[in-house]
Structures are given as C-alpha cells and as structure tokens.
Structure 1
C-alpha cells in the first residue's frame, strides 16, 4: 500500500465541493461553514434527497475512456475544434488528462460517504427498516460503482498475480476532510468494491420505483461486471445469472421504429440501472463517425444496423442507438447503465470461458433472437468453446457500442495474445497508435489532484 498525507480540507472543498454547492436542494447538507466542517443530513428524507437530487449521481460517469476507444473516428476539422484535453485523450497523448472524470467519480463517493457516516445516528425501527436499509444500501452501491469506474479508467488491467503490488485507486471511506490520501493496491481496491456491492445487495430492495435508484439486480450486475474484469468467470457467471433472475426482460428490436431519431426509448424494460457520462463534443452525433469495419460487421438481418446507426450525407455512419432516448446531433453523453442484454453477454462469455460452449451459444441466442429480424438468427456452428468465445466477444463489441465498456474490454482482452488489439488514429498526415498493454491504458490522474494530494502518478514510458 502506498500512502501519502494530504490536506483533504483542500482536496474536498476546492476540488469536489464546488460541484456540490451548486445543488440548491442539497446545499444545506453540504455547505462549508467557517470551521470547514460538514453540515450533515439528519433524517432519512435528507439522505434520500441527496441521492435523488437531479439524478446528479447518475449523470457524471467518466467519459474519456469512450473518447479514447476505437468505436469511432473524427475528421480533422472536428478534431481541431476539440478542447485540448479531449484532443490529447483522443490521440492517446502521453500527458493526456481530464479533471472532471476524477472529480465526478469522487463527488459520487463523497455523497455516499456523507450518508454512510451519519445513517447509524438514525435509529432503525419496525417502521423505517426497509427505507433505512435501502438508503444505506444505495450509498454503498454508489460508492462502489464510482470506485469501479475510477479503477477502470485510472488503473492498469487487473492481473491476479500482481494485484497486491499494482497501484489501485484512492479508497475514500469517510467524509472526514482531514483524512490522508491513500492510493491502495489493485487487490485492496477490488476487494473494497466487492465488499461494498455485496453489502449493498443484502440491503437493497428487489425493485425500485425509479431506474436511477439501485436495487438488488443492479448490485448483482455491478458484481458481475467487477468479477468479469478480474477474470473470475465463475463468480461473474453467478452474479450475472442472479441479476437476470431478478430482471430478465430484454427489448425486442423488432418492435422498435428504426426511422426515429432515437429508436431505443429511455428507461425501457431492459434497463436495470440508468447512468450516463458527462458530455463532450467528440462523441456528438454530428462529429463521431462510426468505425467502418465495425459497422460492416453487422449482418443485414441484424436490426441493430438500422436501430443503432444512421447514414450521413457523405456515406459515413453516426450512432443513434443510445438507451438514453433521442440522440440529437449535439448530444454527446453516452448511456452507461446496466441492462439485461449486457448481463446475457457476461453470462454467455463466462460459460464459454468455463468450457460450456453449447450453453454459452444458447444464452447468446436469447439475446440475438431479439436483435435480428424474427426467425432469421441462426446459431453459427463452432468446433469448440474457444470458437464460441470469439463469436460472443464479437457480439459484445457490437451490442455495447458507445456504452463505455470498450476501454475496459480492450484492457482485459489485451492480456490474451489471441485478442490483443493495436489501436490506430489517423489525424491529417499523422498516425497515432496504442499498443496492447501500453501504460497509457491507465489514464493519468489529473495533475491538480497529484499536486494537492501527492499520491503516486501512473507511469509513462
């Protein structure tokens, strides 16, 4: 474990709290009095208001991992109009950073910690037990969800044999502004994510009134995601299956209208938990051109080809298939939420990796039957579970496009030589590449955060 003290009054109040103090409904709970202490929520209503206010915790997911991924490309004119930090991340510049992905995630952590530090002061009784449990479970879930996002963007791929030594994330486990900054190991980081999610799952209800609030299925889904990137396929299978048992609904794309600007309705039956990234113009529909090889990989009977994409006047293609409703030309946030379709892909991949090829393909067919024109999907004949795995990973790429899953997938799959991918960007007469397992897959922690906290920075060549 690497530890470095820092002044967390400075870190929280100068970096995080300015984001929070603009939220008028929560201001009274998060104001900074003259003695720099937090005014804390004192009732369950206060705490639920913090979790719900303007869905802030659901709309500041990290976005640079999608900017840096290979689902799309930019023309030179669009690239030149970007903010310098976004340009640097698009081209994988060695010094690329982006402050708001870090502060956004730790804003979520702070909200969760304020609740967790104070909820035990509210007596739990027969009348409020369910609500008390739900609020505590939600705070744990949001904290773990944010930790997972930070690890996915600012750390290298999880490797069991080196996890105890590899640099992980800053595990903020209280709202105490005087606590030192600690950059934990990867093993410690993922152990905390799993512990928080399991405790959240034990407290959360089976269903919620709003998809911006987590329930048991959401906690199971995040556990499945976490174990998948850790390479623990047995556990990922268990939790994906548990999630699907509670939330099996999958959209039938045959029932959608591809002529609409946004064919996939927001908060639809397939969504388990709704989140979106912040927005950047690089990902706007009128800027991001879908990778042509990726677009051509969709078969003609695959309804995703018309549901997910529209053809531009120059023959290129733009993405319109967000699960967050209409994707207008200027809209640049990505849906990152949990869906039952994603869980079917996790389950299918894990079955294949565990040598159960036939079951893996049967699980995949459950999804593909609802993505292809009715009666047209035929399960390919494969000779082994490994061949089934390749097929499943290809479908995962096509299903989860612009969902902020690709960066994590590239990192974890690059550890396997058969799936390693070299990324290439062409900007004018310049060609940029990102090799498998490059240190740039662990994005730089913002320099302002390093300056305040003195925590170790990610390495560069």
Structure 2
C-alpha cells in the first residue's frame, strides 16, 4: 500500500462524519476550512486515497443480507437480540436507522470526488505516470458509481415500483462540504451511476495489481449488474460478454477441500473486484440459520452443498461459503464483482432475449465447475419456457451472501410469474416484505446535513 499524507486520511473522514452524523453541527458547517490543512495533489497521494482499503472496500450496506430470505431466526434468538434496531431489521421495519452505513458510502464518494477534482493538476511526466493517472481517475469514477448504486439499491425505491421522477438519492458530486447536494430523481440517480461506470471503463487496466483495486472487467461487470437490475437485458448481456472476454476462469469445486472451514480464500480467482459489507449479529453462525428450502434445493451431486454449508452440532445449517476467506465465522455479505454472477447474468439475459441454446451452453459451462466430475448437465432437455425459472433458482443457489438476493427481490417485485415472496414467522405472528418496504428511507437528520 502506498504511503500517503496521514493528515488527509484524518481530515476527510472527519469532515464527512461531521456533515452526516452530527445533530448539532450547523456551526461547524458555517466555518471556513483551515487553509493550512494539507490537500492531496500528487499522483502518489491521490492513488493512496483510492487504495485506502478500509474506506473504499469495506462497510458496504449489510441490509441486503439482513433483509434477504436466505436465512431465518428462531423466536428465542430474535428476542435475545441486543437492540430494537436489530429486531426491527429482521421484520423489515421501514424506519431502521442505518446512518453509520450510509455515512460509509458517502465517505467513499468524498474520497472519489477529491481525486476527480484534483487529478488533472497532478504532474504527469512519463508513460508510467500516464498509466497511473488513468488508473487512479478510472478508480475514482468506478467507486463513485459503485457507492451511489449501493445507496440507491438500499435507500430508494426500485425504478420499476415508482415513477422515475420520484425520489432518488442525494448525489454528491463535489468534495467540498459547503457545496449543496443534489437531491436527485431516480432517473437522475441511475443516469449518474451509469455515467460514472462508463467513464471508468476506458481508464482502468485489464489486470489490477490486486483485486481490491477496480479493473476494466470489474467496471464491465458492474455495468452488467446495473443494466440487469434495470431490466435492460441487451446492454446487460453486452457488458457481461465484455467482462468474460477478459476474465472467465471459474473454480472447479472438484479440486478444492469441500470440508474446509473456509473453502474459498480471499482474492480467489473468481473474484473480479473485492468488497464486503459491514457485519451484523443477525448473520452470525450462532443465530442465522440457512433457509431449509434453499438448502434442500441442492442435489447430492451439487458440490456447492458442501462448499457453502455445514450442519452444526445443534442440527441446523450454517453458511461457510464466504468469498472473503472467513468461512462460517463470517457475518458479512460479499459485495464485490464475481465471475459466477456475471455468468448467470449472461444466462438470464440470453433466456430473456430468446437465445435459449446459448443460454443453456453458458449455464452448462458454469455448472460443470459446480457438479460432481462427469455429472451430466441436468437441464439438457428442459423446455425453453422453463429456462428463466431455472436460472433464477440457480442465482439463489450460487449467489447466496454475495450481494445479489436483495437486488433480485427488488427487481422481480413487479413480475407476477417470478416475484419472490418473503415471509418471516415468529411464534404466531407472520411478517411479509411488501413493495413499500423494499428500501430504507435515509434518516431526516442525514438528509438535512447532506443538503
């Protein structure tokens, strides 16, 4: 990791924390910044901001995993949770205050804005400097688009559920805390997300030094994910293909230790870009129990059943297939860009566009790495009209705790045939996830100080 000016790492998070969290900081906001504070100007310092793993790659929203239907809690475990916020999260209460997680998104955006505003003043002498300039600028565009997408997915309605002119998210496009924040519509929100991700594609390298840095295939992969979410299947397919042209090597589960406590190491070859959520006690191995219908969906020939899960001494199933290398000690949701997701995006788009032969071939290429060696492809004779239901089922089986289920629940909410019904049961009470609860409103205290 590059050494960077430590004053920057101190002052920028502090400014953003005061901006977002402080309920009595209006006096602070009226003060002129200290002009003696060092501001990053060199490529080395600007690159250091983008390489700040704790700020840029951590603390992605955890509500996507907490709100998903991939696990359940016993009533006694729910009642024993330490806070009302945790209990409310489990039953999809709308007013849960996730201000700390929201702050993490905007802190990362602040770092990206700082780089985008200052990089054109950095000295570029030779080809190496030019390559670093392009990578750093592309990284800033990528992170700003990525983090704004995280805020949109968790804190605004899905565009299919409301008018595109309705409330989007606060868009911060300047680093100065004194600059007004644009309260965007949904159309503006997604236009900015796509603009930033597109801008990153021409600047990022094909191969990053380490996958915690964004790359061209990571940007293509994110574009595929966003376009799929928006139902723009031709574009999603095009960017999935662009990603897979550069990076496409899957892990053959026949070659790994399925009984290991953590079968998937951090930065394994299926990781295109590495990022993870904050952690939640609801997802801890001692509390969160894997949905029994999900677990039973894997056949005995499906090696994911052993690679992703383990039964504990109490008889319930724990998740251990974490792609951050933590196994069943993980309370995280993996939020990076992953090859299996891109393969399945391609399959779904092909199926939706009526290209069923290509869809089956792509699904077969994935499942060959997931099933027992020499196992025949289970969907060879499947009627074309059933293929979309199959790929949606395979998405759930493959992408558990990988930042995808919540997106799928939201984007399919208006699809009468494939919408996902999410239900929680606690004693004699039943809770249902309705469309109006498929996002968490940004707390008013945050909105006031973002404006």
- Normalised TM-score (structure 1): 0.88
Q: Look up the match of 1:12.
A: 16
The C-alpha deviation readout for 1:42-84, integer Å capped at 9, x for no partner, is 1111011111124431111110121011000112333232432
1:73 and 2:72 matched: yes
Q: Look up the match of 2:233.
A: 233
Distance 1:257 1:33 in 2: 58
Distance 1:161 1:284 in 2: 34
Which moved further from structure 2: 179-188 or 223-232? 179-188
Distance 1:177 1:252 in 2: 48
Give 5+ residue unaligned stretches, structure 1: 1-8, 19-31, 455-461
User: Equivalent residue of 1:257, what SS?
Assistant: coil
Within 5 Å, which residues of 2 pair with 1:32-71? 35=33, 39-71=38-70
Do the aligned residues in 1 keep the contact of 2:145 with 2:192 (CA within 8 Å)?
Answer: yes
Deviation at 1:33, TM superposition (A): 9.5
Distance 2:31 2:126 in 1: 35
Deviation at 1:371, TM superposition (A): 0.5
Q: Look up the match of 1:343.
A: 342
Distance 1:422 1:159 in 2: 17
Q: Look up the match of 2:369.
A: 370
User: Equivalent residue of 2:51, what SS?
Assistant: helix
**CA root-mean-square deviation:** 2.3
Q: Look up the match of 1:323.
A: 323
Q: Look up the match of 2:395.
A: 396
User: Equivalent residue of 2:168, what SS?
Assistant: strand
Do the aligned residues in 1 keep the contact of 2:21 with 2:103 (CA within 8 Å)?
Answer: no
Distance 1:58 1:304 in 2: 26
Do the aligned residues in 2 keep the contact of 1:261 with 1:328 (CA within 8 Å)?
Answer: yes
Give 5+ residue unaligned stretches, structure 2: 1-12, 23-29
Q: Look up the match of 2:331.
A: 332
Distance 2:392 2:209 in 1: 33
Residues 386/412 of structure 1: CA separation in 2 closer, same or farther (3 Å cut): farther
Distance 1:123 1:429 in 2: 66
User: Equivalent residue of 1:153, what SS?
Assistant: helix
Do the aligned residues in 2 keep the contact of 1:345 with 1:396 (CA within 8 Å)?
Answer: yes
The C-alpha deviation readout for 1:236-289, integer Å capped at 9, x for no partner, is 000001001110111111111121111112111111000010111111122110
Q: Look up the match of 2:418.
A: 419
Which moved further from structure 2: 351-360 or 88-97? 88-97
Q: Look up the match of 1:171.
A: 171
Do the aligned residues in 2 keep the contact of 1:261 with 1:327 (CA within 8 Å)?
Answer: yes
1:151 and 2:152 matched: yes
1:129 and 2:126 matched: no
Do the aligned residues in 2 keep the contact of 1:109 with 1:172 (CA within 8 Å)?
Answer: yes
Do the aligned residues in 1 keep the contact of 2:53 with 2:212 (CA within 8 Å)?
Answer: no
Deviation at 1:200, TM superposition (A): 0.5
Do the aligned residues in 1 keep the contact of 2:19 with 2:449 (CA within 8 Å)?
Answer: no
Deviation at 1:328, TM superposition (A): 4.3
1:139 and 2:143 matched: no
Deviation at 1:160, TM superposition (A): 9.7
Which moved further from structure 2: 205-214 or 118-127? 118-127
Residues 90/36 of structure 1: CA separation in 2 closer, same or farther (3 Å cut): farther
1:445 and 2:442 matched: yes
- Normalised TM-score (structure 2): 0.90
Distance 1:234 1:161 in 2: 23
Within 5 Å, which residues of 2 pair with 1:192-207? 192-207=192-207
Distance 1:129 1:224 in 2: 28
Distance 1:108 1:10 in 2: 12
The C-alpha deviation readout for 1:352-398, integer Å capped at 9, x for no partner, is 00011111111011110100111114242456543111101100011
In the comparison of the two structures, how many residue pairs are matched?
A: 430
Do the aligned residues in 2 keep the contact of 1:67 with 1:282 (CA within 8 Å)?
Answer: yes
Residues 218/54 of structure 1: CA separation in 2 closer, same or farther (3 Å cut): closer
Do the aligned residues in 2 keep the contact of 1:82 with 1:282 (CA within 8 Å)?
Answer: no
Distance 2:438 2:390 in 1: 25
Do the aligned residues in 2 keep the contact of 1:40 with 1:114 (CA within 8 Å)?
Answer: no
Residues 84/160 of structure 1: CA separation in 2 closer, same or farther (3 Å cut): closer
